[in-house]
Amino acid sequence: MRRLVVDVRPGDYSVVRLAPDAPVPAGLLDAPGLVSVTRTPDELSIVCPTEVAPESDTGEHGWRLLTVRGPLEFTLTGIMAALSGELAAAGVSLFALSTYDTDHLLVKDENLERAVRALSEAGHDVVRD
C-alpha cells in the first residue's frame, strides 16, 4: 500500500438515521465541512457536523473525521481496506464513506489518538489542522 496523507478535520460529527420518506433538512447542505446524505428504501442517513445534525431518536454523536488527501484515482485499489484493517488491528471501529475524490473515515472521539497512532505507525502521514 502506498503512503497516504490523512487529514484530521476539526470539529465533531454525527451520524443520524431518519425515516426513509423524511425530507432532507433545510439548509443542511449549506453547512461547512463534510455533509453526506444517502437515501435508501429503508432510511435517510445523514453524516454532518454535530451542530447542524437534525433531531433523531436514532443517531450517534461524538465522531471525528479523517480524510484521505485526494483526489484518488478510481483505478487505485485497497485504500479503504488497508486503512480499515490498520484501525481494526488497533481496536478502533469506524464509519466509512467515499466521495468522488477521496475516502473518509469517522472514528469516535475517544479513539482518535489511537487511530492517529495506528495510521502513523503503518507509515501514513497524519496531519492535524
pLDDT tens-digit readout, 5-47: 999 999 999 999 999 999 999 999 999 999 999 999 999 999 9
Model confidence at 77, pLDDT cuts 50, 70, 90, reads: confident
Quote the pLDDT of residue 78: 86
% residues pLDDT > 90 (the chain): 89
**Residue range of the domain that includes 28:** 5-128
Whether the predicted model's global pTM rises above the 0.85 cut: yes
Q: Residue 49 CB: number of other CB atoms within 10 A?
A: 20
Residue ranges of the alpha helices (H) in the chain? Answer: 79-89, 112-121
pLDDT at position 1: 60
CATH number at residue 62: 3.30.2130.10
Hey, what's the cell of 111?
479513539
Q: Sign (positive/negative) of CA torsion 97, 61, 43, 52?
A: negative
Exposed e or buried b per residue across 87-106, where buried means at least 16 C-beta atoms within 10 angstroms of its C-beta = beebebebeebeeeeebbbb
